Structure 1
Amino acid sequence: MNLYQDVEGLPDGWYRVECLGWTDEASIYKQHAYAVSMSDSVMSNMASTAMTSWETFRTASIPVYDGKLRIGFQSESGGGSIGWFLVTDFRLRYCGALSEETLRPILDKSLADGRAMADTMMFAADKKMLMDSISKYEAVEGAANLKQAIMSMKDAMSEAYKSVDKQNSVMAGIYKALKDSVDMEVYSGDYYDMASRFLSCMDDEINSADASYVEMDSLEGILYAFRDRYVPTLYAARELTVEDAFAKGILDDNINRQVSDFTTIKQLPEETLVDKYVNELEKAMAQCEAADLILAGGKDFTGLIVNPEINNSSNSVKPKGWDGTVVNGDNRFTGNGQQVDGNAQGYYLDSWNATPGTLLYNMHQTIESVPNGVYRLTAMTRTTSDKGVYLYAFADNDSSTVTLSQVELEKMNITELGGPSAADGGDSIATVTDTYGSIFAEVYKRTNGGQTATDAENDTLMANNGWGSGWHYTSLDIEVKNHILTIGFTCDSTFTQKYGGTAFAGTWISADNFRLVQLSSGDNEGWNPAAGISSVPDEDFSVAVEGGRIIAPEGSRAYSVSGMPVNIGAVVPDGVYIVKFGKNTVKVVVNRKF
């Protein structure tokens, strides 16, 4: 228990707090009066075991410089409802003016504490700032100057404490974890080399002459980005099996360039560069998957969607790969605990507002390197509104192609799904939002009420204690003509009403498990998803076609648009080819009729 009051407007001087307190012998838990000023704190005597009536509590005197003093009375009980005390008759007594004789010991102690603190400090700039303050105030004289020096040293010590706290957290945090991994040889090969370089650069930052605690959070963020985002992505990129030779070459070039950079760095890269490299690898992997799908004649392009299953770490952050806005939501972009299979740890796009129609939610992502063609986008969805919720898509950054597909508010016979009957004994036809749903119903009927269900089917049937969670499919078809597709999920009428949509009237919406399937292919002649959209070649990179032969500088590589390598200088069939030299890519046409 702690009762206090902040007193302001006091003249500079020395003060003492007195009060009367009372408790019984069984409830004594170090009850005492106290006072806290800008530079000091004092306590009174503790409650005595012989207390049988009101007892006087009196603090030592305390200096006040800025007119402010907190006075109070507290118990150091461990909590709960144990103990009690009564306190009354507070008195604040003025004990005399501040003088050079009384202030000098206070400053000397502050200076001594500062010197001791400086001996423990790691960050040079912070240590220098503290030592500069100590040097500045060592020889001051006069009560006014001493008072100012004491207040300034308090500020300097406050900053020094922050520096020491941060150095302790740095040495126990990601820096230590990464160092332990290197020392224990958790990493090998160039992973070890990269981690060692990042650690060496972090050591340089920590030990530099301008090192300060204020920059350590951002530096630690770089180490986190390397360990938690870059290394797993690089590993995934290296493990990816790619059949398309050209796409594989693009991926390998990205990997080799990045690894070469990170194994030779002289200073820590910006966190934005680490994330840029992650994005480059993710894009290259998506291009590889698209190239292989084309090569194999595949139709399921869901792999081009980043995070189609909406994996996330917190409802308050946007899931990886998705962007957008939530207005009047409950501070979340996703929900969890009600997935179609009942996975309590699974996430899905979701938000909520108790007032119907006020939620404005729009999450989307743009996919590049999409083969031209007609696609069907499908997602699991649910809603509390019979209007204003849409799965949507548009192609090639062209708003005239925006396609909205309304998410239905389902009604179904729940009696035939094991639910209750209507009041008259007949089947109950109910509007469902977070129970049943057509996905649940289809599984229930297909498995004879679960009697023939597989483990996966049983997970769906047992979700939400056997009632299901309201999920059903929503789909739309859209044509891509220039390799770019944007997909999204929304109830934001400021967006949908521009394209013929209606206002949302419910309280929450959800979407999960997006899928993208090509219904028919379009015109992809001369295009490879990994070609990177022809780069501008260097002046010394010239490509020519002579007699059906591709003529290019030594070290160049050539591929058909399907990704098959061809020999530079050999006669090749008529068609479009991709020539790569270093970081440059161009397309050439071989046509011996001209």
Structure 2
Amino acid sequence: MEVYQDIDSLPEGKYQVECDGFTELGKVYKQRAFATSGGVTVSDFATEAMSGAWETFKTDPIVVFNGKLRLGFSTESSIEGGTAGWYIVTGFKLKYCGEFTDDDIKELFRIKLDDCKALCDTMMFKGDRAVLGDTISKYQNSTDIDAMKQAIEALSDAQIEAEKSASKQVEVKNGIWSELTDSISQSTVFTGDYAEMISNICDCMNGAVNADDAVYTQMDSLQNILYRVRDNYLPVLYQARNTFVDDVTAKNILEDNIDRQMSHLTETDELPSTDTLDKYVGELQIAMKQCKAADLYKSGTRDFTSLIVNPGIDNSSNTSIPEGWNVYRIGAGNSNYTSSGQQVDGNPNGCYLDGWHPTNGNLLYNGYQTIEYLPNGKYEMKAMVRTTSNHGVYLYAIADNDSSTTTLKQLTMETMNITDLGGPKSSTGEDSIATVHNQYGSIFAELYKRTDGGANATDAQADTLNANGGIGHGWFYDKLEIEVKNHVLTIGFTCDSTFTMKYGGVPFEGYSISADNFTLRLLEEGDNSDWNPASGIIDVEDSESEALKYEIYDGTIVSNGNIYSINGTLIPNGARVTAGIYIIRLGEQTVKVLVK
């Protein structure tokens, strides 16, 4: 923490800074008065015996030859990293101490030159070292006083940048690069071909760090590559290698992707770019989705919930968007995308999609995700929901990225006999019939009645009845049906009337909405002849030498790549096709196009 003031146009001479400071008892972390000019700093530190009393600080005289002086008071954290404490400072004085001599300038020049030479000898990054070395060479033979003054300022500027480089090299030596290298040498984390791959990446890092043109400003991006390898790529690679796959086509595509990527990362002599790593992660994630879809389809199951990413809305923080979902909210009364503490069917501590604003009708909330590689057919999408309005809240689905298929299911608040559920009677002594939104709900009501108010409940049923205060919190299940014809389905939950009114919806009139526990079930299979989720999507051959090009004209697609239908069937180049989505790929380059 530092307070300071810059002064310009001072007459040449020697100056001393004085001030009075008061430091918290026992919190002496290098508190000091200081003065800086011409790249030189003088300081007067607080006494170690300081006992919570005022102390006068006086710096040594400092030479000012360029008219510029910074004076102030500063503190650092303790060696142990402590940052607590405070100081009070006042009564700054700047005293003129007389003229400086030529010998003073010569001594400053000598000290500055020696400091820069010593710093240069310790620098790792050759590009930065060369810049400082060139500055030293340019000014080290200065002989007259004016030249020395100029040299002191130039060397000081170069020293500031060089010190940034020296600081960064400590970070680089002791950071993620060192962690990965140690993990290999100790065989504690990486073994086999993983160790070979990480070892090569560390060698590439060594080459980049020790390159003739290496500079400290590059190091954050280089370290980010190593972090991206460890924290983003490796977890997905592990997952991909441990994915069990029955379908031969899907398995081959997944394994080809893994082999190609690991071969590149093991043999390359340059660090991969973050774009390359992100692309590799995407390829593996797509291949794993294809594997899951292929195995599900061939198993004959009707339950395709596992193709929904995070159907139960697991989330590490309510202020972050949950994995797998796209969520936007406009006019929300807080920063939350999800909430917790009122779940009743599932993890009582779990999260759920949740939007809120204290003013009715102010909220626009939409959470959705797109599922690919679905077998064609009629599906039921179901979710646990609640609302504070009978208007404007919807479950929705869109098939095949075609907005004309948009299906909305409006959600309404439930009305029920709450006296039967342990609630109060009406003011007339009769059973109370109420519209509920934050209490009871059919999930709670049905279970309450089925278990005689919980008296005959199993442990699991009791957990649901008693979850988060045992009041039900207004949750119920609702569902919709939609037909998928081209293997793509978007599911969502919304009160955004700017979206829903395009498809017959109405504005939202409430203040909060919630959804959780999404499921997807195939009701009736459609036309899936010659379809395999894994075919025709990912090509494992690298071909970056030619850019992918295509044209769509009068129902035909012309391209220098291969053209596929959404189900992987190869389409002749230039052939007339029906309206829909098609995939064009050339090597690793892939694009989806819409023919209208």
TM-score, normalization: structure 2? 0.75
- Which residue matches 1:402? 406
**Does residue 107 of structure 2 align to residue 108 of structure 1?**
no
Tell me whether 288-297 or 70-79 shows the greater mean CA deviation: 70-79
**Does residue 345 of structure 2 align to residue 363 of structure 1?**
no
- Which residue matches 1:178? 180
- Please give the alpha-carbon distance, in whole angstroms, between the structure 2 residues aligned to 1:203 and 1:3: 37
Give 3-state SS (helix, strand or coil) of 1:181's partner.
Answer: helix
Distance 1:50 1:294, change over 3 A: closer
Cα drift, residue 220 of structure 1: 2.6
The Cα offsets for residues 89-146 of structure 1, whole Å up to 9 and x where unpaired, read as 5432234567654344334333333333333333222332333333333234666655
Give 3-state SS (helix, strand or coil) of 1:482's partner.
Answer: coil
Structure 1 unaligned blocks of 5 or more: 539-560, 563-581, 585-594
The Cα offsets for residues 264-302 of structure 1, whole Å up to 9 and x where unpaired, read as 222221222222222222222222222222222211112
2:417–2:433: 8 Å Cα contact kept in structure 1?
yes
2:283–2:538: 8 Å Cα contact kept in structure 1?
no
- Please give the alpha-carbon distance, in whole angstroms, between the structure 1 residues aligned to 2:535 and 2:528: 12
2:385–2:475: 8 Å Cα contact kept in structure 1?
yes
Q: Which of these residues, 205, 214, 217, is aligned with residue 217 of structure 2?
A: 214
Kindly report which structure 2 residues correspond to 1:171-320, keeping only aligned pairs within 5 A, or say none: 171-185=173-187, 186-320=189-323
The one-letter code of the counterpart of 1:71 is G
Give 3-state SS (helix, strand or coil) of 2:502's partner.
Answer: helix
Give 3-state SS (helix, strand or coil) of 1:248's partner.
Answer: helix
- Please give the alpha-carbon distance, in whole angstroms, between the structure 1 residues aligned to 2:311 and 2:355: 18
- Which residue matches 1:472? 476
Give 3-state SS (helix, strand or coil) of 1:263's partner.
Answer: helix
Kindly report which structure 2 residues correspond to 1:421-570, keeping only aligned pairs within 5 A, or say none: 436-532=440-536
1:444–1:450: 8 Å Cα contact kept in structure 2?
yes
2:27–2:84: 8 Å Cα contact kept in structure 1?
no
Cα drift, residue 458 of structure 1: 4.3
Identity %, equivalent residues = 49
Distance 1:278 1:6, change over 3 A: same
- Please give the alpha-carbon distance, in whole angstroms, between the structure 1 residues aligned to 2:541 and 2:30: 80
- Please give the alpha-carbon distance, in whole angstroms, between the structure 2 residues aligned to 1:28 and 1:174: 33
The Cα offsets for residues 524-560 of structure 1, whole Å up to 9 and x where unpaired, read as 122221112598999xxxxxxxxxxxxxxxxxxxxxx
- Please give the alpha-carbon distance, in whole angstroms, between the structure 2 residues aligned to 1:233 and 1:492: 34
Cα drift, residue 260 of structure 1: 2.7
Distance 1:427 1:294, change over 3 A: same
- Which residue matches 1:37? 36
- Please give the alpha-carbon distance, in whole angstroms, between the structure 1 residues aligned to 2:308 and 2:184: 34
Cα drift, residue 455 of structure 1: 4.7
- Which residue matches 1:11? 10
Give 3-state SS (helix, strand or coil) of 1:530's partner.
Answer: coil
Give 3-state SS (helix, strand or coil) of 2:235's partner.
Answer: helix
The Cα offsets for residues 322-347 of structure 1, whole Å up to 9 and x where unpaired, read as 33544455445444555446858744
Q: Which of these residues, 150, 159, 162, is aligned with residue 161 of structure 2?
A: 159
- RMSD (Å) for aligned C-alpha atoms: 4.5
- Please give the alpha-carbon distance, in whole angstroms, between the structure 1 residues aligned to 2:142 and 2:483: 80
The one-letter code of the counterpart of 1:171 is K
Tell me whether 72-81 or 297-306 shows the greater mean CA deviation: 72-81
- Please give the alpha-carbon distance, in whole angstroms, between the structure 1 residues aligned to 2:287 and 2:91: 76
**Does residue 394 of structure 2 align to residue 390 of structure 1?**
yes
- Please give the alpha-carbon distance, in whole angstroms, between the structure 2 residues aligned to 1:91 and 1:537: 73
Distance 1:509 1:125, change over 3 A: farther
Distance 1:8 1:467, change over 3 A: farther
- Which residue matches 2:582? none
Give 3-state SS (helix, strand or coil) of 1:6's partner.
Answer: strand
- Please give the alpha-carbon distance, in whole angstroms, between the structure 1 residues aligned to 2:348 and 2:215: 43
Give 3-state SS (helix, strand or coil) of 1:231's partner.
Answer: helix
- Please give the alpha-carbon distance, in whole angstroms, between the structure 1 residues aligned to 2:295 and 2:76: 71
The Cα offsets for residues 55-76 of structure 1, whole Å up to 9 and x where unpaired, read as 7653323455574534359999
- Please give the alpha-carbon distance, in whole angstroms, between the structure 2 residues aligned to 1:193 and 1:521: 46
The Cα offsets for residues 488-527 of structure 1, whole Å up to 9 and x where unpaired, read as 3333333233223333455554433322111111111222
Distance 1:461 1:213, change over 3 A: farther
Structure 2 unaligned blocks of 5 or more: 543-566, 569-585, 589-596
The Cα offsets for residues 7-37 of structure 1, whole Å up to 9 and x where unpaired, read as 544525443233567899x999799872343
The Cα offsets for residues 354-388 of structure 1, whole Å up to 9 and x where unpaired, read as 55544443333222212111112223334455543
Cα drift, residue 394 of structure 1: 0.9
- Please give the alpha-carbon distance, in whole angstroms, between the structure 1 residues aligned to 2:42 and 2:485: 77
- Please give the alpha-carbon distance, in whole angstroms, between the structure 2 residues aligned to 1:35 and 1:58: 9
TM-score, normalization: structure 1? 0.75
Give 3-state SS (helix, strand or coil) of 1:37's partner.
Answer: strand
- Which residue matches 1:556? none
The one-letter code of the counterpart of 1:130 is L
Distance 1:45 1:80, change over 3 A: closer
- Please give the alpha-carbon distance, in whole angstroms, between the structure 2 residues aligned to 1:311 and 1:190: 33
1:342–1:462: 8 Å Cα contact kept in structure 2?
no
2:253–2:540: 8 Å Cα contact kept in structure 1?
no
Give 3-state SS (helix, strand or coil) of 2:481's partner.
Answer: strand
The one-letter code of the counterpart of 1:497 is M
- Please give the alpha-carbon distance, in whole angstroms, between the structure 1 residues aligned to 2:263 and 2:57: 70
Distance 1:75 1:468, change over 3 A: same
The alignment covers a number of residue pairs equal to 539
- Which residue matches 2:545? none
The Cα offsets for residues 395-423 of structure 1, whole Å up to 9 and x where unpaired, read as 11211122223344556555555566667
Give 3-state SS (helix, strand or coil) of 1:35's partner.
Answer: strand
- Please give the alpha-carbon distance, in whole angstroms, between the structure 2 residues aligned to 1:428 and 1:116: 86
The Cα offsets for residues 438-478 of structure 1, whole Å up to 9 and x where unpaired, read as 43444444444444545544444443344455543342221
- Please give the alpha-carbon distance, in whole angstroms, between the structure 1 residues aligned to 2:106 and 2:319: 53
2:33–2:45: 8 Å Cα contact kept in structure 1?
no
- Please give the alpha-carbon distance, in whole angstroms, between the structure 2 residues aligned to 1:33 and 1:275: 48
Cα drift, residue 158 of structure 1: 3.4
2:327–2:367: 8 Å Cα contact kept in structure 1?
yes
1:125–1:209: 8 Å Cα contact kept in structure 2?
yes
Cα drift, residue 49 of structure 1: 8.6
The one-letter code of the counterpart of 2:477 is Y
2:257–2:540: 8 Å Cα contact kept in structure 1?
no
The one-letter code of the counterpart of 1:203 is N
Give 3-state SS (helix, strand or coil) of 1:235's partner.
Answer: helix
The one-letter code of the counterpart of 2:505 is G
Distance 1:302 1:426, change over 3 A: same
2:380–2:482: 8 Å Cα contact kept in structure 1?
yes
The one-letter code of the counterpart of 1:11 is L
Distance 1:387 1:4, change over 3 A: same
The one-letter code of the counterpart of 2:399 is A
- Please give the alpha-carbon distance, in whole angstroms, between the structure 1 residues aligned to 2:142 and 2:107: 13
- Please give the alpha-carbon distance, in whole angstroms, between the structure 2 residues aligned to 1:325 and 1:147: 59
Give 3-state SS (helix, strand or coil) of 1:525's partner.
Answer: coil
- Which residue matches 1:71? 72
Cα drift, residue 230 of structure 1: 2.7
- Please give the alpha-carbon distance, in whole angstroms, between the structure 2 residues aligned to 1:194 and 1:75: 41
The one-letter code of the counterpart of 1:129 is V
- Please give the alpha-carbon distance, in whole angstroms, between the structure 1 residues aligned to 2:227 and 2:217: 17
Q: Which of these residues, 363, 373, 376, is aligned with residue 377 of structure 2?
A: 373
